[in-house]
Amino acid sequence: MFISRALGRVASSTFRLQANPLAAQAARSARTYATAASAGQIRSVIGAVVDVQFEQDNLPAILNALEVKDHSGGRLVLEVSQHLGENTVRTIAMDGTEGLVRGQKVVDTGAPITIPVGKEVLGRIINVIGEPIDERGPIDAKTHRPIHAEAPEFVDQSPTPEILETGIKVVDLLAPYARGGKIGLFGGAGVGKTVLIQELINNIAKAHGGYSIFCGVGERTREGNDLYHEMIETGVIQLEGESKCALVFGQMNEPPGARARVALTGLTIAEYFRDDEGQDVLLFIDNIFRFTQAGSEVSALLGRIPSAVGYQPTLSTDMGGMQERITTTKNGSITSVQAVYVPADDLTDPAPATTFAHLDATTVLSRSIAELGIYPAVDPLDSKSRILDPRIVGDEHYKVATEVQQILQNYKSLQDIIAILGMDELSEEDKLVVERARKIQRFLSQPFAVAQVFTGYEGRLVKLADTIRSFQEILGGKHDNLPESAFYMQGDINDVQKRAEELAKEMGSQ
């Protein structure tokens, strides 16, 4: 519905009238850009790549935004990527290039792509160039910012480790998230990354007083549409009142230029709230792999020689340039949750491997756990967090988490013996380890509010203190008498006990 290019163009005619404090706003960025507007002509169009020729000594700077005049499809922005010589620049289009012809006039805006920021964008859906695509009229923003900026200086950063409660047991216990940190959700296709991100929005964004930015990068339009309407229903977005969330989309159907830049558009809005309004901002990105993938497409279009597995040679630079801007400063913080698609479930692929280096916590979603029907399909042994440290989370939390991981690891090492010889050949001690580990494995499942319509289970949000107490009791053997099935898809240990009583009644009545 709302991501279609045609609808975006309807709104663009109004937006064009007010979107030109560009050159004035360029000074806000740490970089320096050409400010004198100059005109050029299109020399060639090859897919998303457009070559534009300018007059002598009047070339636009790299990363400057150019606008095509009299384009039948509405406002078309081109971003300068290379200077080719003979006063010609090579640009990447932020929208489809259908209808462009050689000789068509192009104007340099004198600044990078500049978007509206501030409270006016809350509750709205915008595209990569800051145009509204929700059919609710233009965005009358007082402030505009370029999407390219430098990361904060080291002296301005303020890393204070503090746990961010999500209400999801497996995350809070074994790989807790840091407030103001960067969190990655890793997984192959269809293991539940988007559902987990939506549950985090549901749990954190609602309980969290600040603003949230959701950035859809190269993912399904249908999911973005569902999320928007769900946010309206739950009151996160209020069509008439004051909303707490802004949505930025560059979906699967967009050209690679838009998908490579839309994450920076969302990040620029988050930076404004952090730096100018002193807010603690939540930034959700789904999916960061598509940012890398789009960069790879753009790199190939520009004729660069690819590096390992066909990715762009500038993979680390592109990723670092964006990730370093997501940080906590003395003014405020950006807590980022990023879904990371893992191609063919291979965590050594350069795209997810490069992302790993920037994260404070990694939540790895496993296909083998999803096949057991345990959701969220978080791998408790592969998921890691920098703040799972007794000095940050406390001795009790750390002790319970390490004991849970230890018993699950012991169970994993016994699985081969069980497969060959069966349970009867194990010692009594090992049998107890297996029984408790299987209960813990099932107890790590949890019903999600956003998946309630599919699972039939009512969503449960569990406090960290209840999570620690529940696992402590299972490890201590307090619930050895309860059946395994009672632990599946429950909230805290009290829910397990109620479920066990229900099962006992059902058995008694038969």
Pairing of strands 333-341, 182-187: parallel
Report pLDDT for 40. Answer: 93
Please give the distance of CA 26 from its chain centroid, rounded to a whole number. 27
Report pLDDT for 80. Answer: 96
Report pLDDT for 37. Answer: 65
pLDDT tens figures, 393-436: 999 999 999 999 999 999 999 888 888 888 888 888 888 999 99
- In 3-state terms, what secondary structure has residue 133? coil
- In 3-state terms, what secondary structure has residue 476? coil
Element of type H or E holding 384:
strand 384-385
Are the C-beta atoms of 352 and 344 separated by less than 8 Å? no
List CB contacts of 235: < 8 A, sequence separation 6 or more: none
Q: Which two tokens stand for residue 380?
A: 């408790």
List CB contacts of 465: < 8 A, sequence separation 6 or more: none
For the chain, first and last CA: distance in Å? 52
Q: Angle, to 10 degrees, between the axis of helix 288-301 and the axis of helix 315-323? A: 140
CA angle 433, 434, 436 (to 5 degrees): 65
The stretches of 164-287 forming alpha helices (DSSP H) are: 169-174, 193-200, 206-207, 221-234, 256-275
Distance CA 443, CA 214 (A): 30
Are the C-beta atoms of 73 and 100 separated by less than 8 Å? no
Name all domains of the chain by residue range, CATH numbers in brackets: 5-112 (2.40.10.170), 116-388 (3.40.50.300), 395-509 (1.10.1140.10)
Report pLDDT for 416. Answer: 85
Please give the distance of CA 489 from its chain centroid, rounded to a whole number. 26
Residue from 199, 219, 254, 271 carrying the catalytic annotation = 219
DSSP code per residue over 304-365 = PPP-GGG--TTHHHHHHHHHTTS--BSS-EEEEEEEEE-GGG-TTSHHHHHHHTT-SEEEEB
Q: Which of 67, 185, 223 is nearest to 131 (CA)?
A: 67
Distance CA 258, CA 291 (A): 10
Distance CA 499, CA 510 (A): 17
Beta strand spans in 97-256 (E): 105-108, 114-117, 125-126, 143-146, 163-164, 177-178, 182-187, 212-217, 245-250
Phi first, then psi, for residue 331 (nearest 5°) are: -80, -45
Element of type H or E holding 303:
none
- Indicate the DSSP class of residue 457: P
Distance CA 436, CA 428 (A): 12
Are the C-beta atoms of 422 and 431 separated by less than 8 Å? no
Distance CA 197, CA 217 (A): 14
> 330 exposed, middle or buried (CB, 10 Å; 0-12, 13-18, 19+)?
exposed
Element of type H or E holding 102:
none
Report pLDDT for 28. Answer: 40
Pairing of strands 384-385, 361-364: antiparallel
Q: Angle, to 10 degrees, between the axis of helix 493-509 and the axis of helix 464-475? A: 60
Q: How many CB atoms lie within 10 A of CB 119?
A: 16
Are the C-beta atoms of 65 and 37 separated by less than 8 Å? no
CA angle 397, 381, 207 (to 5 degrees): 50
Report pLDDT for 251. Answer: 87
Residue from 220, 304, 399, 469 carrying the catalytic annotation = 220
Per-residue pLDDT of the chain (510 residues; tens, 9 = 90+): 444 444 443 344 333 333 344 444 443 444 444 445 689 999 999 999 999 999 877 889 999 999 998 888 788 999 999 999 889 999 999 999 998 999 999 999 999 999 999 999 999 999 999 999 998 899 999 999 999 999 998 888 877 788 888 899 999 999 999 888 899 988 888 888 878 888 888 787 667 677 889 999 988 888 888 888 888 877 778 887 788 889 999 988 899 999 999 999 999 999 999 999 988 899 999 889 999 999 999 999 998 999 888 899 999 999 999 999 998 888 888 989 998 888 888 889 999 999 988 999 999 999 999 998 898 999 999 999 999 999 999 999 999 999 999 999 999 998 888 888 888 888 888 889 999 999 999 999 999 888 887 778 888 889 999 999 999 999 998 888 999 999 999 989 999 999 998 888 888 776
Q: Which two tokens stand for residue 401?
A: 């988490």
Are the C-beta atoms of 97 and 77 separated by less than 8 Å? no
Are the C-beta atoms of 114 and 19 separated by less than 8 Å? yes
Sign of CA dihedral 168, 169, 170, 171: positive
- In 3-state terms, what secondary structure has residue 446? coil
Report pLDDT for 198. Answer: 81
Catalytic residue list contains 219: yes
Distance CA 246, CA 254 (A): 19
Residue from 75, 124, 182, 193 carrying the catalytic annotation = 193
